[in-house]
């Protein structure tokens, strides 16, 4: 049995799945958190991140000196075998602590570069990989100059946030001003860390979106598969299907493009979730995330291939490096419940049908309660996960299940969740 140090966690998705998996694998973990209140109870029980921890140590996880002192206090009385997190905002802290302890991990410098969208764009451009033209704006004058160079429409996003937060399609100067002030006006993220407050402007990439799930160990990258993604015009991820239905030649071109990008960034250790658009000119990278895929992508990969990205995350933290054999069978998909209006949901019709549908292996609804038309991925109000073990209809089955639901609103109207094909 190994003991891992977990530096914070996401609350949903991987945050719910990793703690019981660690127990299943025979490991225990010590949790570093600046506030246990970040992890609310789930179904009347303590959040799994808190419940499954062998120890919970309250320490300022945004203060590297404080964490270093806490680690020294631990190693004086027990061994730490690996350092992990599922939360993007602590990837560099994990890399630094692993390096300090002489444990397996990614290079802190490379992680810091990989989590900054502007740095990634610069590295890929210097490596000669084709991608959208871009500009970075710290001031309003920078934003105007960048837009004049790139031309409208363009995509505007913060350089250091996730979950699609504050990502906008900008069609003119007024919308650009709104995006600029939204991004530069927020000083800290949801974990109270200071933000760069810079706006990344990019040419719009046209075409279907996919993501490539990879694990890199000892400099060798293994492709776990390609995920098909459904994205709303507001850049909210509405659903995923794994594997994506791509011709072999296109899949090969996509994976080689991603390998070249990861190599250019210097990534030699860790999981990666790389998002791309399949443009008429070929695959173009949207973002590179040096961690497991969110939005239950990790569940889809495990269901279809038998390889668990979260188990790989643990293996990477402990060593020796995992070299998985990927043998996909069937398809799996998740479709998210998106409210078509702002308001308060008082009830949901169609829950019983989800329970009776043999293709639906799991579903969750976070309503009754307030909802809004989705601006980012945090506005999703539920999901349905479907499996077609021998065919390619999982995406259709998941989307159909979500479309069968009806949301009862406080004003008396009944609305259907947004219909987005998966």
C-alpha–C-alpha distance, residues 191 and 413, integer Å: 37
- How would you classify residue 224: left for phi > 0, otherwise alpha for psi between -120 and 50, otherwise beta? alpha
Domain with CATH 3.40.50.20 in the chain: 3-103
- Closest by alpha carbon to 409, among 375, 378, 381? 381
CATH 3.30.70 fits 333-415, yes or no: no
Answer yes or no: is pLDDT of 420 > 80.
no
pLDDT, residue 163, reads 85
Query: pLDDT tens digit string along 36-66?
Result: 999 999 989 999 999 999 999 999 999 999 9
Residue range(s) of every CATH 3.30.470.20 domain in the chain: 209-318
pLDDT at 316: 97
When pLDDT is averaged across residues 261-271 and rounded to a whole number, the result is: 97
pLDDT for 322: 76
pLDDT of residue 228: 98
Q: What is the pLDDT of residues 182-209, one digit of tens each?
A: 999 999 999 999 999 999 999 999 999 9
Q: How far apart, in whole angstroms, are the C-alpha atoms of residue 116 and residue 109?
A: 11
The domain made up of 3-103 has a fold known as Rossmann fold (3.40.50)
- Give whole-number Cα distances, 326 to 214, 226, 297, 323, 389, in Å: 11, 12, 15, 10, 16
What count of residues does the chain have?
422
pLDDT at 75 over 90: yes
Examine the pLDDT at 29 and tell me if it is beyond 90.
yes
Say what the pLDDT of residue 418 is.
86
Q: How large is the average pLDDT for residues 356-375?
A: 95
Query: Parallel, antiparallel, or unpaired: how do β-strands 220-231 and 209-217 relate?
Result: antiparallel
d(CA 223, CA 253): 13
Which residue has tokens 């560099």? 92
- The architecture CATH gives domain 209-318: 2-Layer Sandwich (3.30)
Residue in the structure block whose two tokens are 């860390």 = 193
Q: Where in the chain is the domain with CATH 3.90.1170?
A: 333-415
pLDDT of residue 421 exceeding 70: no
What is the pLDDT averaged over residues 337-362?
96
- What residues contact 212, with CB distance under 8 A and at least 6 apart? 223, 225, 226, 227, 254, 255, 258, 272, 273, 274, 276
CB 419 within 8 A of CB 399: yes
Question: What would the pLDDT profile of 216-233 be if each residue is shown by its tens digit?
Answer: 999 999 999 999 999 999
**Mean pLDDT computed over 103-124:** 97
Instruction: Evaluate if residue 302 carries a pLDDT over 70.
Output: yes
Half-sphere exposure of 143 (CA within 13 A, CB side): 26
Residues contacting residue 55 through CB under 8 Å, at least 6 positions apart: 30, 31
Portions of the chain given CATH number 3.30.1490.20: 132-203
The pLDDT of 284-311, averaged and rounded, is: 96
% of the chain at pLDDT higher than 90: 95
Mean of per-residue pLDDT scores for the chain: 96
Per-residue confidence (pLDDT) for residue 419, from 0 to 100 = 67
- 132-203 is classed in which CATH architecture? 2-Layer Sandwich (3.30)
* pLDDT single digits (tens) 320-346: 877 898 999 999 999 999 999 999 999
């Amino acid at each position: 049995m190994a003991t891992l140090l977990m530096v914070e966690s996401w609350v949903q998705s991987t945050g719910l799945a990793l703690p019981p998996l660690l127990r299943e694998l025979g490991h225990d973990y010590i949790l570093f958190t600046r506030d246990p209140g970040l992890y609310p109870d789930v179904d009347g029980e303590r959040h799994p991140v808190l419940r499954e921890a062998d120890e919970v140590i309250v320490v300022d996880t945004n203060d590297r000196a404080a964490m270093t002192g806490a680690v020294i206090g631990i190693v004086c009385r027990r061994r730490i075998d690996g350092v992990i997190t599922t939360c993007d905002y602590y990837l560099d802290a994990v890399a630094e602590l692993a390096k300090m302890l002489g444990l397996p991990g990614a290079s802190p410098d490379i992680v810091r570069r990989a989590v900054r969208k502007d740095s990634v764009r610069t590295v890929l451009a210097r490596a000669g990989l084709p991608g959208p033209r871009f500009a970075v704006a710290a001031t309003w004058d920078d934003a105007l100059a960048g837009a004049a160079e790139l031309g409208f429409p363009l995509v505007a996003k913060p350089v250091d946030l996730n979950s699609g937060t504050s990502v906008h399609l900008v069609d003119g100067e007024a919308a650009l001003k709104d995006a600029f002030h939204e991004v530069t006006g927020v000083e800290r993220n949801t974990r109270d860390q200071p933000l760069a407050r810079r706006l990344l402007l990019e040419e719009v990439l046209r075409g279907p979106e996919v993501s490539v799930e990879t694990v890199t160990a000892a400099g060798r990258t293994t492709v776990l598969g390609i995920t098909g993604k459904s994205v709303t015009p507001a850049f909210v991820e509405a659903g995923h299907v794994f594997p994506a239905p791509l011709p072999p030649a296109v899949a090969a071109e996509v994976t080689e493009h991603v390998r070249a990008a990861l190599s250019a960034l210097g990534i030699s250790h860790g999981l990666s979730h790389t998002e791309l658009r399949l443009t008429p000119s070929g695959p173009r990278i949207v973002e590179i995330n040096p961690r497991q895929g969110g939005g239950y992508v990790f569940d889809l990969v495990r269901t279809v291939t038998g390889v668990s990205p979260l188990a790989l995350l643990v293996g990477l933290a402990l060593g020796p490096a995992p070299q998985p054999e990927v043998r996909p069978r069937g398809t799996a998909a998740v479709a998210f419940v998106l409210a078509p209006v702002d308001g308060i949901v008082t009830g949901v019709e169609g829950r019983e049908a989800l329970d009776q549908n043999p293709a639906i292996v799991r579903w969750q609804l976070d309503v009754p309660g307030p909802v809004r038309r989705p601006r980012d991925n945090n506005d999703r109000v539920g999901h349905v996960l479907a499996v077609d073990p021998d065919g390619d209809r999982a995406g259709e089955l998941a989307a159909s299940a979500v479309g069968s639901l009806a949301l009862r609103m406080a004003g008396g109207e009944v609305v259907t969740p947004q219909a987005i094909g998966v």
